[in-house]
Structure formats: C-alpha cells, structure tokens
Chain A
C-alpha cells in the first residue's frame, strides 16, 4: 500500500487483487442481497481508493481495510432498511415450499443475520475462514480476549435461535 501511495500501479493492482476477494466475502456475509453485495464490494473498493492516502504504513492494513468495508456495508444496510419502509406489503403471500434441510439453513442464515455485526464477524472469521484468534482480533481491530467473548456470545445466540 505504501508503494501504491507513491503511485506504483503494479503494486496497487496486486493489492486490489489480493483484497478484492476478501472484501467480496465480507460483503456476502454482511449484505444479504447478492446484487447489493456486489455493489457494496465495488463501493468498498472505491472508498478504499479514495481513502488510500490515510493508510499508515507502520500499522497493519487489515483493521484499516475492514473498517472501510464495514462502513460501506453499514451504509448498504441502512439504505436497504429505508427501501424496505417504502415497499408495498402484499395481501396474499404465496405459500413457500420448504424442504427440512433448506429450512435449517435458512433459519441459520436468518439467525446469523440477526447477530450484532461484531459477533457475526468474530464467529465467521474463526469458524468459516479458519483464522486464529490473534489474526481475527487483528482484523477486527480488537483484543484477543474481546474477540473470544464476541465469538462465544455469537455461538450462544445461534444455539438458542436454532433451539439446540
């Protein structure tokens, strides 16, 4: 990133290609609509581009990067809530056909979506992405102790939501 700040395009391309998939996965978790997630990913890359002068080379890049991504995701969630307020509620809703296994997955995703963002991030980084506690704490910009507490709370909340 320090080289990108000096105008090195190749270094900047390599950086964006590295962080692009990370941001895309982050947005998939935080922005439920796939189309919105793709837009949010692009917006986050654009925000990163506009904020690149604020990166401090002496500090790790992950807290800086994911703070920007989290901010964009929050904006998208806010916009989605506003849009939802304007949507017309239908009188008759078609009966959905739900397969038992799919139902569990849907309930899991709903329960995951209802978790506070910090808890959801902690759980996903540890359980889905396989990061160590130290790596996840660095990415979240918090201490390992606080991250463990978040992950534990997320786990308890999910267990309770799924009735297990």
Chain B
C-alpha cells in the first residue's frame, strides 16, 4: 500500500520557495478572545433595542420569566452559532456533527418559544395584506440594522482566519447575527400584529440571513486560499 512519495524534488522546490517567503505573521487571536470581542456587537444591538423600544412596558416584560426565556433562548442560540463560526476559521476546529445538531436544536427551541408566546390577535392594522406589510417594514429594517454589525464582524474574523468550510462558516456567521437581531428585535417590537408578523418579520430574516450569508459570504472568506 505504501509507495515512495511522488516527485520529492518538486516538493523540495516548493519548500524552498515557501521558506524564502516566510516572514513573521500575526497569529490569529485565540477563539475565546475573538468570541469575547464579537459578543460586544450583539450586546450593543440589545442595548440599542432596549433604548429604542416601541414596547411601552418593556420593564414589566423583563420581569416575566417566559419573555426572558424567549429572549435568552434566541441570544443563547446566536452566541453558540457565533462561537462555532469563529472557531471554524481555524483548520481542524470545524464544528462536529453533534455541535451542529446542538446549533439546530438551540435555534429550533428559540424559534418555537418565540412562536408559542406570540399573541394570536392582530391589533396593529386592519388585517389587509398592505397593512401587514406596512406594519412589518420597520421590523425588517430593525432586523437588518441589529444584524449588520455582528454579521460583518463575524465575516471579517472568518476572513482573517482560514476557514476550510467557507459556506458553512459563513452560514453560521449569518445565523448568529440574525438570531442576535431577532433577540434584540423581540425587545424592541411590541408585537401587536400577532404570530404572522413574528414569523414574517422577525424569524424569516434569520433563515434569509443564513442563506444570504452562505451564498455571498462564502466566496469572500474563501480568499485566504488564493
């Protein structure tokens, strides 16, 4: 089964060229340090959401265990997705199947909690499609606003590393950012438009963020190979 390695002289030439090109490099920060820094962005989003909330009784909501559990579940999922994304920028430290399954489970739990606690009644508009869209547009804007910074920060951190599975890494980064945005949005939006508002304007952006990040972010972070 074992044979001599092919063309050792060609390998020697490559080694000589690489050694000639070897200058000092700035090592990537440890995953924990990069993750701690990245967490500032979702935290900033949460602070912004709390400061600009359209909920008249956010303080009272924050004393309800069910509401807190809902926001905490979204945030926990966001942080786990973000951690896996940042760790995947180091070769050999890509998420294992069980870790990806946990990411799916956390996101699924968070989305189910949010769906389960959303009011079924619609109070914000006349029930027309135009009213539904009109009342949802501010939330989609907020979602994008809260997600942009953590998303870009995660992609820059990934690009600085060497992700071997760029599509998955970018998808995790997008998911992390939009889950964090959904957590922030839950504190900013009074959700007077019922469950379909939550689904269309709070939760679907998470799926869209994962898809767009995987498609658009992957080619950008793959450039470490060229």
A→B interface (CB under 8 Å): 4-7, 9, 12-13, 16-17, 20-21, 24-25, 28-29, 34-35, 37-38, 41-42, 45-47, 49-57, 63-68, 71, 112, 124, 128-129, 141
Are B5 and A25 neighbours in the complex by a CB distance under 8 Å?
yes
Are B15 and A16 neighbours in the complex by a CB distance under 8 Å?
yes
List 10 A-B pairs, Cβ < 8 Å.
A7-B25, A12-B18, A20-B15, A25-B5, A28-B3, A38-B11, A41-B5, A51-B161, A56-B30, A124-B1
Rounded to whole Å, the gap between the CB of A21 and the closest CB of chain B is 5
Contact of B28 among A4, A37, A53 (CB under 8 A): A53
Given contacts A20-B11, A63-B92, A128-B1, contact A71 B18 (CB under 8 A): no
Measured in the bound complex, the distance between the Cα atoms of B27 and A124 in whole Å is: 33
Cβ of B92: which chain A residues have Cβ within 8 Å of it?
63-68, 141
Q: Is B64 among interface residues, defined by CB-CB distance under 8 A?
A: no
Measured in the bound complex, the distance between the Cα atoms of B208 and A124 in whole Å is: 42
Given contacts A7-B22, A63-B92, contact A68 B6 (CB under 8 A): no
Rounded to whole Å, the gap between the CB of A145 and the closest CB of chain B is 14
- 0/1 string, B92-125, CB within 8 A of A gives 1: 1110000000000000000000000000000000
Rounded to whole Å, the gap between the CB of A62 and the closest CB of chain B is 8
B→A interface (CB under 8 Å): 1-3, 5-8, 10-11, 14-15, 18-28, 30, 89-94, 161-162, 164, 224-225
Q: Which A-chain residue is minimally distant from B18 (CB atoms)?
A: A49
Contact of B91 among A7, A35, A38, A67 (CB under 8 A): A67
Are B5 and A50 neighbours in the complex by a CB distance under 8 Å?
no
Rounded to whole Å, the gap between the CB of A111 and the closest CB of chain B is 12
Rounded to whole Å, the gap between the CB of B161 and the closest CB of chain A is 5
Cβ of A6: which chain B residues have Cβ within 8 Å of it?
24
A-B contact count (CB 8 A): 111
Cβ of B19: which chain A residues have Cβ within 8 Å of it?
9, 12-13, 16
Measured in the bound complex, the distance between the Cα atoms of B164 and A50 in whole Å is: 12
Are A38 and B3 neighbours in the complex by a CB distance under 8 Å?
no
Q: Which B-chain residue is minimally distant from A51 (CB atoms)?
A: B162
Cβ of B93: which chain A residues have Cβ within 8 Å of it?
63, 67
Are A28 and B22 neighbours in the complex by a CB distance under 8 Å?
no
Measured in the bound complex, the distance between the Cα atoms of B201 and A64 in whole Å is: 41
Q: Which A-chain residue is minimally distant from B161 (CB atoms)?
A: A54
Rounded to whole Å, the gap between the CB of A48 and the closest CB of chain B is 8
Contact of A42 among B11, B21, B25 (CB under 8 A): B11
Are A12 and B5 neighbours in the complex by a CB distance under 8 Å?
no
Are A71 and B89 neighbours in the complex by a CB distance under 8 Å?
no
Are A12 and B22 neighbours in the complex by a CB distance under 8 Å?
yes
Are A46 and B18 neighbours in the complex by a CB distance under 8 Å?
yes
Q: Which A-chain residue is minimally distant from B226 (CB atoms)?
A: A50
Are B162 and A34 neighbours in the complex by a CB distance under 8 Å?
no
Rounded to whole Å, the gap between the CB of A150 and the closest CB of chain B is 14
Contact of B225 among A45, A50, A65 (CB under 8 A): A50
